[in-house]
Chain A
Amino acid sequence: MQDNQVAERSIAPLPRNAAKGGNRNPAGSQQEVVPPVQVVEFLLGKEHFAVDLFDVKEVVEYTRITRLPNTPSYIKGIIDLRGEITTIIDLKEALAIAGADVKSEEDSRIIVLDDQITLSKTGIMVDDVLSVSTFQRSQVDSSLAALHKENTQIIGIIKKKIRIKDRDSTELIIWIDVKQLLKALEQGMKDISLTLDKIKSEVASGEQDS
């Protein structure tokens, strides 16, 4: 069901989609009203990105990341998040955003993804998390996604009205589909998941041994 919803959303956001996603829409009873979009805005380099709020569980500060050997370059490593091993994906690496900025890794943030969309607990490392924002559907331009159907990682471009020095301006926010992204990275992720499972079981047996 979730995959279906993502697919539909990526093609064309329609009012009836909102009705289908009624469990997530508090205003679902009003079928004619287009539900607004809630996203978490963040920075990668100088560009603004956004992910669906409901794909996010929380945002945490950077902690030391333990690197894993023999993993793709976009797998940053793992951290211990309140007792749970969490895989950290370097989103810049994954999205092939060139020119990693000078900002130190310590200032980064980790967006922990919702457990429902991941096999194992996963977080994506971003330069900074800005805010939780609500946009109207009309502010989302999906024409780019429609042109490049094969690239389904981008849902659309959100045109955010901002004021800079008393002048109206539009900031473009790239709304990416985390689930599609994870699907693309699936293989690597599966490997890691298996490895992690093995580690877990070993740890468990180790614990049993001891």
Chain B
Amino acid sequence: MATKASITNQKVPQENASLKKQCNELKQDQNLLLDEITRFHGLVNEGDTTATIPIKQFTGVSKKMVDLINGTIETYRTTTINQKEKIKKLADEAEKQKQFAYTMVMQNPQPQLIVSREMQIKLANEAFIKMSGIPAGSVTSMNLKSFKVLEKSGHNVREAMEKKKGVSGFVTVEFPSGIRYLEQHSIPMLDKDGNLVSLMTVYNDLTEKRRIEIAEKELTEFTSTYQATLGRNLSLLSNGDMNFDLTIPEANENTRKAAEEFRLINTSLTTVRNNLLALIKDTEMLTQASVEGKLATRADPSKHQGEYRKIVEGINVTLDKMIEPVEEAIKVANEYAHTNFAVRFDEKLSLAGDFIRFKESLNNIGIRVADAVTLVNKQVLDLAAAAEEANASIEEVASGSNQVAQSSSSVSANSEKGGVAMHQVLRAMDDLSATVSSVATKTEAISHLTREANNMSKKGSELAKRTEQGMEGITRNATDVDAIVKDIKSQMDQIGKIVNVITDLANQTNLLALNAAIEAARAGDAGRGFAVVATEVKSLAQESRESAENIAEMIGNLQKKSQAAADAAAEAGRTVKEGGSALAETLQVFNRIVSSVDEINQNIEMVAASTEEQAASVEEITASVNEVNALIQNTSKEAVDSAAASEETSAAIDQIGKIIENVNTIVDRVSKEMAKFRT
């Protein structure tokens, strides 16, 4: 700027004062101008666009200069304002454009994103936020790479950036709102030089569309599966197979409704099957009843419906028609069974076809049997007469044979009785023998026992003798003790005497001491020493006397005790003497026992000897009895043989008799039975 150039003081020639004055005025003017320009410069620099240099102060050249400066400034200012307005207009336009673009993106119903070259999300429209469920606040801090892409196909964002060309593809992304299947259009945004600035992605949410496609596909598959099963079931039904496959494929939310309908179809199918089965069951029941001959059995038509009922009713009518002739036949046959062959089939019944032949056959049976029975009756009467005659003859033979049998059996019985008696004798002999031998055994045992008793009593006797000796010893000892005690006693007496002497001495000493004390006391001081001695002597004497008294007492006790000992010894002696006499008695008893035992022994030996003799006799008798027994048994056997022979004869005759009797009976019975037949 021109105002910036500085004007320095010039050397002005001082030739004249006016010049000088002019110079000074000029100088002042210039300095003022400089000041103003400086101030103006400062204002402009501070941004004051309306600043001007005040012109009034200046005159002449300076005024012109200022005017020029102000004019220049004004021109410049006007131009600047115009430019600014133009720029503002452009900026407003740009802002409008920007707002438009922003609205276009933000308000777009299709989800859109603006990402940087690094795929950082710069802008996400409301549709995207709604679709993804990502909070509006955090979406711009995310990167496209951080999306969880499950599946992708077609062209992707990277390709669009590389090719700088819009591409399309499909991605499946897991958003917070759920898994979305999206059509993705990537549109690179270039500047005018063709450099990539950012990238716009536009999404088309195909999730719902895809879901419906899947649902339709599943439903089609489900239905076709069931239709195939249904076709098979109908085929089974037409072939009479009731084992239907009633499974319905597992349904999901897409096929649930269809499954419901299929279930209804299945229910109907089951009803058909049940009705058919009921019909079959009744038919089978009737067939079975017919096979078993239960012609009265009928099915209940009310259990069936519609056409099924008609079938059952038809069967029932058929059975009714069949049962009439059959029942008549049963009646006739029953009469035959009760021997009434005179009865015939009821002619009133209207019969047809095979049933007429059935009637004639039955009637023929009655006619033929009646003829045969008449013939048999006649012949049976003849047979009865013949049998009667045979019976009479046989009875005669039987009575003779019976007599023989009786005689020989009585012989046999007698000899058997003899045999039994002999057996009894033998058993008695055996018993006797056993008794005798047991007597022998017992006598031996007794003999043994008596020997032992003998030994024992001898030992006892010896022991008693020894005891007696011991007793004598005790008696001797007791006597000795008595003597010793007496000796002690006399010595004690001696000691007693000595003690008495000591007591006397002590008493006298005491008295002497007393007198000495008296004397000493009377002697006053001179006797004091002696008084002490006297007191000592007196106390000694006292002690001696007490000791002597103690001794006397002790001796008294000892004497008493030794007396007691002597008494005890004497008592012992006496007791021993008594014991001695008892022992003597015992000895005698023992001796008596010994002699008794000896006697017993002798007797027993005698018994043993006689027992042996007895045993010998018993054996002899037994032998004889055995011989007799053998003889009897022989006799018996022979008698038995004879009896058996005659019994056999008798039995044979009886047999014949019985047979004839049987014949008679049979003839009787036959004629009786034959009489029952009505012809």
Contact = CB atoms under 8 A, between A and B. Distances in A.
Interface of A: 24, 26, 38, 40, 53-54, 56-61, 109, 129, 131-132
A78 to B, nearest CB: 21
A26 B521 contact: no
A129 B512 CA distance: 12
Nearest to B514: A59
A132 B518 contact: yes
B518 A109 contact: no
B521 A53 contact: yes
Contact of A59 (B511, B522, B525, B531): B511
Specify which of A38, A56, A132 lies most central, judged by the most chain B CB atoms within 10 Å of its CB. Answer: A132
Given A59-B514, A61-B511, A53 B524 contact: no
Contacts of B538: 131
Interface in B454-486: none
Given A58-B515, A59-B511, A59-B514, A132 B524 contact: no
Nearest to A61: B511
A57 B522 CA distance: 9
A57 B514 CA distance: 11
B167 interface: no
Interface string B507-535: 01001001101110110110000010010
A109 B522 contact: no
A58 B518 contact: yes
Contacts of B508: 61
B512 to A, nearest CB: 9
A56 B258 CA distance: 165
A123 to B, nearest CB: 13
A131 B514 contact: yes
A53 B511 contact: no
A122 to B, nearest CB: 16
Nearest to A25: B524
19 contacts: A24-B524, A26-B524, A26-B525, A40-B518, A53-B521, A58-B515, A58-B519, A59-B511, A59-B515, A59-B518, A61-B511, A109-B511, A131-B514, A131-B517, A131-B538, A132-B514, A132-B517, A132-B521, A132-B534
Contacts of B517: 131-132
Contact of B521 (A38, A59, A129): A38
Given A53-B518, A131-B538, A132-B518, 14 more contacts: A38-B521, A53-B521, A53-B522, A54-B522, A58-B515, A58-B518, A59-B511, A59-B514, A59-B515, A59-B518, A61-B508, A61-B511, A132-B514, A132-B521
A56 B518 contact: yes
Nearest to A27: B525
A109 B534 CA distance: 18
> Interface size class for chain B?
10 to 19
Contacts of A24: 524
A61 to B, nearest CB: 6
Contacts of B514: 40, 59, 129, 131-132
B587 to A, nearest CB: 62
Contacts of A56: 518
A139 B519 CA distance: 24
Nearest to A41: B514
B8 to A, nearest CB: 155
Contacts of B534: 132
A57 B521 CA distance: 11
Interface of B: 508, 511, 514-515, 517-519, 521-522, 524-525, 531, 534, 538
Contacts of B525: 26
Contacts of A131: 514, 517, 538
Nearest to B523: A26
A10 B518 CA distance: 23
A109 B512 CA distance: 12
A61 B510 CA distance: 11
A132 B538 CA distance: 10
A38 B519 CA distance: 12
Contacts of A60: 511
A60 B511 CA distance: 7
Nearest to B539: A131
A131 B535 CA distance: 9
A168 to B, nearest CB: 21
A22 to B, nearest CB: 11
Top 6 A-B pairs, shortest CB-CB distance? A132-B517, A26-B524, A26-B525, A58-B515, A53-B521, A59-B514
A163 B274 CA distance: 138
A192 B534 CA distance: 35
B204 to A, nearest CB: 136
Contacts of A53: 518, 521-522
A8 to B, nearest CB: 21
A24 B524 CA distance: 8
Contacts of B521: 38, 53, 132
Nearest to A38: B521
A56 B520 CA distance: 12
A40 B515 CA distance: 10
B536 to A, nearest CB: 13
Nearest to B528: A26
A207 B53 CA distance: 213
Contacts of B511: 59-61, 109, 129
B28 to A, nearest CB: 158
A24 to B, nearest CB: 8
A24 B534 CA distance: 21
Contacts of A38: 521
A81 B192 CA distance: 190
B277 to A, nearest CB: 131
A24 B521 CA distance: 10
Nearest to A54: B522
A43 to B, nearest CB: 13
B552 to A, nearest CB: 16
Nearest to B526: A26
Specify which of A54, A59, A61 lies most central, judged by the most chain B CB atoms within 10 Å of its CB. Answer: A59
Nearest to B510: A129
B619 to A, nearest CB: 107
Contacts of B522: 53-54
B648 to A, nearest CB: 135
A171 B538 CA distance: 21
B517 to A, nearest CB: 4
A60 B534 CA distance: 16
A54 B521 CA distance: 8
A59 B518 CA distance: 9
Contacts of B519: 58
A26 B527 CA distance: 11
Nearest to A129: B514
A42 B534 CA distance: 17
B66 to A, nearest CB: 159
A54 B514 CA distance: 14
B505 to A, nearest CB: 13
A12 B636 CA distance: 158
Contacts of A132: 514, 517-518, 521, 531, 534
Contacts of A40: 514, 518
B483 to A, nearest CB: 37
A110 to B, nearest CB: 10
Specify which of B517, B518, B531, B534 lies most central, judged by the most chain A CB atoms within 10 Å of its CB. Answer: B518
Nearest to A57: B518
